[in-house]
Structure 1
């Protein structure tokens, strides 16, 4: 049988014993699995009719589209369909009729393998031309893959559905808000192994490193603090901004970012954007891979990924992913080891019931972590310090050790041909043990300085239960869509801070020759404790009305209760009946273009008090967006142009020399920040051999006429491409990209000169290159060069009067073996 190149997950490896056992168990089970479909099931599947609307064009995307609509497990190699076209298909057909019509004249035939999947092979030379309805019986083993899966697509475009905005499964063109996606193909091409690396290439997102272990994200003038997992919103307290930014991409199919307010599904949060991390799913076809890699500064990585059916009839499927990375960095003495484990099982309990359970685990253990930047900006007398990029302010015992993971389960029940019900439970965990010490002040005239240290220990736990019913209904002669859902979440952060530190030695005698060698302090008794609990309860609904053939109107609302309690701070904040509206429309201008507009909101409670002691009303973010979206080449290329405006009201402003009854500074809520801008994006297939993702974003956020959020650039350009260079060398793929951003700045205090100064980073561009070569059907080699021209730039400008530099030029290679 030909290699099923349309299924190409990234492989992962993990050194822990339980990871190996799980991987071996799955590996042993898969060869024995065989999909045996009964005659009755085959007859039922082959006689089922589906409506198709597939235009004439290249054969490969037509087959993928038909397989998705019919729920057929279908595998083929790019070489089999290269250069082949189809006359297209319209109307209602059985599965056999549809696939036979698409394959007519192609010289290919569909056959079923022992595992129950279907693959293409060359049709027998003497065989008569295929006739509609005469193909082998085809069995639908599971629901159609309408969840937007990008693994194995070979594309930088998401062609499937996303539920991020409204809970309805809509394509990017059908969604009246901007959604950007980095697909599995792009992650593999550019070897993007961390969430921060992915978001650096994500259109419209700005990435800023606070220090060696903490990274923050922002979009459209506001920070991003909202996350979804497989489309389920999760309330997460990331404890001092650590946690999600260290996430490893080994377990994800794609990363989606919804721009603007997302209160309909998210609840409390900021109006900039929400990030959706979509996990890999089990495959109906067995697949196994191993990847090893090495890079600059002794960066080593190994991965294993196993997936396939676990039962004779294919109704139970599993996947295990494991990875281990030992990563040194360009910072003096800094290194980090990361271990990842992921396992998931899917079971078709009945033809209409799908159960999914799984877990993921990540352990991150850094050494010589920097803290609050990687070096101070000023010396003790106000002069700017000149240091190499490799300077690391952290002590050799400084480290922000973290363990994170989740356990999740979902049950999807198809209620009828038009309706289904899905319930999901997710438990997130993050534990941290941070012994941190760094030089945070510049040197004296004699070259000496001092170290500052604190210790933080704690954990966060989040439980989320989500249920949603969605389907379609007929009204006034048209078909419309409706989603009804609810969510309950509880997030708790407990921790201890040790700031009563005794230093055996605090003085750093040679600031410029600092190598981190200094005794670890005595931490003493804890100085404070954290105990914060956030609860949310919500019901939401959204409807997509087909007002005409070309006009779709979306309406929705969310009603939620919110409670935040922090006993150590005497805070017990309750907000009930919070109403979040949603409105949007999409008007088709033709076969390829649509005009859209939307309005939505989001809220975020705050614990500031006014003069009378009353807590300020929640921050309210209002998002307006309008633009044009395009879908070309049968959805293989997406394009969009958007204008947006975001307002954040009840912004807290401190009242000079005024205090609340509890002695804390008094604030008043004012009409806050307004961000306006435009964004252009294109992603997907320009030609049969060229993939591209490019964007331009312009945004300015102001309050009372003054710019805010100046640490994020007003303008960003990102462009990444890949070219399948088979004409030069069969199996060769070449690619390159760049990201450019405009000037950023911040006003910070220069205590040496007793004045405020502007600290800035001028506009800069970073260029990357990549290449991948398929040595054989089983073996692929890759290489990438980051920061090709070794551009020196800062990713943190002024956080606690410190700065951090971006990574210099680096080279990495990897090899993937499929078996």
Structure 2
């Protein structure tokens, strides 16, 4: 069979050297591989515990003094067996690779692995570009990744990418029991999590809210007000999350300058592998997970993967319970040696009991601050914010003889919510009698249907005797959202709470009636042509130039029919031919360090409304970034430092007022600037020592120099690390982390309805973990979070309330790998 052609520059990047820190250059790959010296023939002393095959091979290379070469695709998702004793290298390799479907070839001191499957897979130490948006992290044991494509769709290493990218890998999620997207964001450098209530969260970076979500590179929009499951996503189905800092309008069409999230799903493994895990934790938190994948034919040309997870957990808040069901399945097939087809679906249901709506009151009636127990749940027993999310997707890729790749991705997503809500967050209770509290109440239902298409071509081309890269594409999406609100009741309803101190959730539910008082209908169409060229005028210099020509049309109609009258509020925003530019440059100083600069435009239509219920004008501006990046140990460790600035007009700033329909009112501010810097390091510092750490300083100011968006800390520090003990203790992995954020504050209304400043002081949170490898296949992990039981607000001012962060809690997870 014919094979796709692989360019020499890509060949070098696909080969991983696990025992030598030198960087292999494209023009001298074979010479470097064959210069290892004289082969070991005598037995060597080895002590390698069962672990991911990628990690085991690195350790084998170090202990045996051999160079082991492999493609990440060959070893991803594969677990090794334990090897111990004085063994010949071939004998040890036979044990490590037993049952994996992987063979090896030895030439001197060099071992090259190959997958024993179809002709396409026998390419061994090469990776066909375009098989994903980045290097798979599942099974690598690493806290970093090899390739990132989320910014330009060009497969670049983190060092080659002229923006800051934080990657939360599968290993980090497993080590620290990061089972929800909230958990992951709390660990991500530079990202702040504001917990609005029990079912909703908002993520912020560089002074802007993160509203752009991508799923395998397909854009989606997060509407925090009407939660649709995105911030409740279960992490069982994802390989990694790439957090792209700065504006991302090149591929998404619109976007805030803070960041975008790209959630990348797990892919089928080329050999049979999987795991079963069971967990139990504080507050009756129980979780089970099954993940299995591998070839479905003897040739391995059809592969599949199935993942399911179920979690039933109570909470530190009294009476609250949440049940999550997640299912994911994917099939991929090599239609020809050059053509890959994949199809899949994911499904998630979240069913809570006693949901809160906003947080707890901040003030008593005498003006003093409240100090509720963290166990206080303002949610009524009947309050529930049920959410669901369904996605079906398909991808077709074809690699041409000239090494260009054509890709088509189709995506259909359905999400929705059913939310009869009641929460004791209103009013100003008396500090003695408890009288004066008010029940927030209302019922909301809605659903969103979104269809997306993305098609592009990418590959190398020659110009002036040098090889360059380009990508050209088109993507479009159409979403339709319908929503209803109920708050006029056929029978009178008194929301007054007799005594907030005896609140136990037992409160009558309103008769919602059958007539919706508020009806929302909106359609959002986005489309655009995009292109990016990466020029290499010299070996050390890369210039990236790109642009998107975008069309945007948002039409909506809001019908209010209540005791306050009947009115219809139509709105329409249409922008055509909006050009979003992107420029970047990366210069290699030496084998380890590069400097870079990037510029991109900002274009973000807004659905937020002012006090008169008028939608705000689109946010527009510019984003700049300048930095230095480092790559060490053949990419096993990455580091970066960046300074950035974004300039924005029509920036939405929250006020203490409400819209006519009861929502939070915003005002538009021109001439704002956000400036700051951030540093990050991620990957393997030493054998068995993984780390991710980052420090971010960012401040947003208006044109007069005053601080705005003060709910975002100006300083944020995150550090999480694990270390596998050496020698006889290598069955133990220990780790932990610390997170610091500086003070935040916002304006709220006191008992006299006057605007006052409310502050949450700076604080540290500390977590610990340890894992014990009981057998080759069975492990147990313990996670202890918020070790010092710090009490703090994770959000302030949302409907004049505060929401507490989680107290100290424990989670035990057992896992069987097969």
TM-score for both structures, normalised by structure 1: 0.85
TM superposition shift of 1:269: 2.4
Residue 377 (1) aligns with residue 362 (2):
yes
Separation in 2 of the partners of 1:591 and 1:747? 50
CA positional deviation for 1:153: 0.7
Structure 1 position 527 matched with structure 2 position 517 = yes
| Post-superposition offset of 1:720 | 0.6
1:580 equivalent in structure 2: 580
Asked whether 1:560 is paired with 2:550, we answer yes
CA distance in 2, matches of 1:756, 1:273: 31
What's the CA shift for 1:712? 1.0
Asked if structure 1 preserves the Cα contact closer than 8 Å seen for 2:584 and 2:598, the reply is: yes
Aligned residues between the structures: 746
Contact 1:643 1:678 in 2 (8 A): yes
In 1, Cα distance between equivalents of 2:212 and 2:6: 45
Query: Are the aligned partners of 1:56 and 1:86 in contact in 2 as well (CA < 8 Å)?
Result: no
Confirm or deny that 1:509 pairs with 2:492. no
Q: Secondary structure at the match of 2:250?
A: helix
Q: Any conservation in 2 of the 1:480–1:546 contact (CA below 8 Å)? A: yes
Specify the alignment match of 1:641 in structure 2.
641
**Please, which runs of 5 or more residues in structure 1 have no aligned partner?**
1-39, 91-104
Aligned-partner SS, 1:83? helix
Please state how far the C-alpha of 1:376 moved relative to its aligned partner: 0.6
More deviation in 726-735 or 134-143? Answer: 134-143
Q: Contact conserved, 1:773 with 1:781, CA < 8 A, in 2?
A: yes
Equivalent positions of 1:747-786 (< 5 A) are 747-750=747-750, 752-786=751-785
How far off its partner does 1:633 sit?
0.8
Q: Distance in 1 between matches of 2:478 and 2:460?
A: 32
Q: Of the candidates 3, 19, 22, which is equivalent to residue 58 of structure 1?
A: 19
The 2-side partners of 1:193 and 1:212 are apart by 16
Paired residue secondary structure (1:188): helix
CA contact (8 A) 1:237 1:493 kept: no
Corresponding residue to 2:63 among 60, 83, 93: 83
Partner of 1:180: 166
Q: Partners in 2 of 1:652 and 1:296 — Cα distance?
A: 39
Q: Give 2:226's match in structure 1, choosing from 237, 240, 244.
A: 240
In structure 2, distance between residues paired with 1:681 and 1:368 = 39
Give the alignment of 1:218-617 within 5 angstroms: 218-237=204-223, 240-373=226-359, 375-439=360-424, 440-444=426-430, 446-448=433-435, 449-501=437-489, 502=491, 506-524=495-513, 525-568=515-558, 569-606=569-606
- The change in CA–CA distance for 1:295 and 1:707 in structure 2 (over 3 A counts) is same
Q: Is the 8 A contact 1:691 1:721 kept in 2?
A: yes
Distance 1:60 1:284, change over 3 A: farther
Aligned to 2:188: 202
Contact 1:783 1:811 in 2 (8 A): yes
Kept after mapping to 2: 8 A contact 1:270/1:604: yes
* TM-aligned CA distance change 1:446 to 1:605, over 3 Å: same
Once residues 396 and 166 of structure 1 are traced to their aligned partners in structure 2, the CA distance between those partners, rounded to angstroms, is 48
Whole-angstrom CA distance in 2 between matches of 1:149 and 1:59: 22
For the residue of structure 1 that corresponds to 2:182, the secondary structure is helix
Q: Are 1:725 and 2:712 an aligned pair?
A: no
Cα offset, 1:666, TM superposition: 13
Q: Deviations over 1:99-128 (max 9, x none)?
A: xxxxxx95468779998931469x9xxxx9
Map 1:733-752 onto structure 2 (within 5 A): 733-750=733-750, 752=751
| TM-score, normalization by structure 2 | 0.85
Determine the C-alpha separation between the residues in 1 that align with 2:771 and 2:264: 25
Distance 1:243 1:555 in 2: 36
Deviations 1:225-247 (A, max 9, x none): 00111122224545524521111
The structure-2 alpha-carbon separation of the partners of 1:572 and 1:114, relative to structure 1 and needing over 3 Å to count, comes to same
2:7–2:403 Cα contact (<8 Å) kept: no
Map 1:700-715; keep pairs closer than 5 Å. 700-704=699-703, 705-715=705-715
Q: Residues 115 and 292 of structure 1: is their aligned pair in 2 closer, same or farther, counting only changes over 3 Å? A: closer
Q: How far apart are the structure 1 equivalents of 2:776 and 2:665?
A: 67
Note the C-alpha offset of 1:84. Answer: 3.3
What do the CA deviations read for 1:400-431 (whole angstroms, capped 9, x no partner)? 00111211111001122420100001112111
Secondary structure of the residue that 1:548 maps to in structure 2?
Answer: coil
* DSSP-derived class of the 2:746 partner: strand
Residues 330, 683 of structure 1: alpha-carbon distance in 2 compared, 3 angstrom cutoff:
same
Compared CA separation, residues 187 and 60, structure 1 to 2 (3 A):
farther
Match of 2:136 in 1: 149
Q: Distance in 1 between matches of 2:797 and 2:664?
A: 24
State whether residues 102 and 116 of structure 2, in contact with CA within 8 Å, keep that contact through their aligned partners in structure 1.
Answer: no
Counterpart residue number, 1:10: none
Displacement of 1:511 in angstroms is: 1.0
Pair 1:685–1:47, CA change in 2 (3 A): closer
- SS of the aligned residue for 1:151 comes to coil
Structure-2 separation of matches of 1:498 and 1:615: 22
* Aligned equivalent of 1:21: none
| Per-residue Cα deviation, 1:14-36 (whole angstroms, up to 9, x for no partner) | xxxxxxxxxxxxxxxxxxxxxxx
Once residues 312 and 525 of structure 2 are traced to their aligned partners in structure 1, the CA distance between those partners, rounded to angstroms, is 38
Q: Is the 8 A contact 1:505 1:519 kept in 2?
A: no
Q: Secondary structure at the match of 2:500?
A: coil
1:207-218 mapped onto 2 (5 Å cutoff):
207-218=193-204
Distance 1:378 1:789 in 2: 27
Q: Which residue of 1 aligns with 2:101?
A: 117
- 8 Å contact kept, 2:622–2:646: yes
Asked whether the equivalents of residues 609 and 615 of structure 2 are also in contact (C-alpha less than 8 Å), the reply is yes
Aligned to 2:42: none
Deviations 1:640-681 (A, max 9, x none): 0000001112347999xxx9xxxx999997633200000000
Given that residues 653 and 709 in structure 2 are in contact (C-alpha distance below 8 angstroms), is that contact kept between their aligned partners in structure 1? no
Q: Deviations over 1:531-564 (max 9, x none)?
A: 0110011000000000111110000000011100
Q: Give the 3 Å change call, closer, same or farther, for CA 60–406 of structure 1 in structure 2.
A: farther
Instruction: Confirm or deny: 8 A CA contact 1:214 1:242 kept in the other structure.
Output: no
SS in 1 for 2:502: coil
Partner of 1:698: 697
Deviation at 1:606, TM superposition (A): 4.0
Partner Cα distance (1:509, 1:614) in 2 = 37
Match of 1:339, SS state, is strand
Contact 1:291/1:816 (<8 A) preserved: yes
CA distance in 1, matches of 2:294, 2:185: 30
Q: Find the residue that maps to 1:554 and give its secondary structure.
A: strand
* Alignment gaps of 5+ in structure 2: 34-51, 71-87, 559-568
- Cα distance in 1 for residues equivalent to 2:615 and 2:488: 31
* 1:584 Cα deviation from its structure 2 partner: 0.5
Closer/same/farther in 2, CA of residues 85 and 59 from structure 1, 3 Å limit: farther
The structure-2 alpha-carbon separation of the partners of 1:152 and 1:55, relative to structure 1 and needing over 3 Å to count, comes to closer
Alpha carbons 1:110, 1:136 under 8 Å: kept: no
Quick check: 2:66–2:109 contact (8 Å CA) kept in 1?
Answer: no
| CA deviation string 1:362-408 (max 9, x = no partner) | 000001011111x1111234332222111111101101001112111
1:26-37 correspondence runs (5 A) = none
Shift of 1:748: 1.0
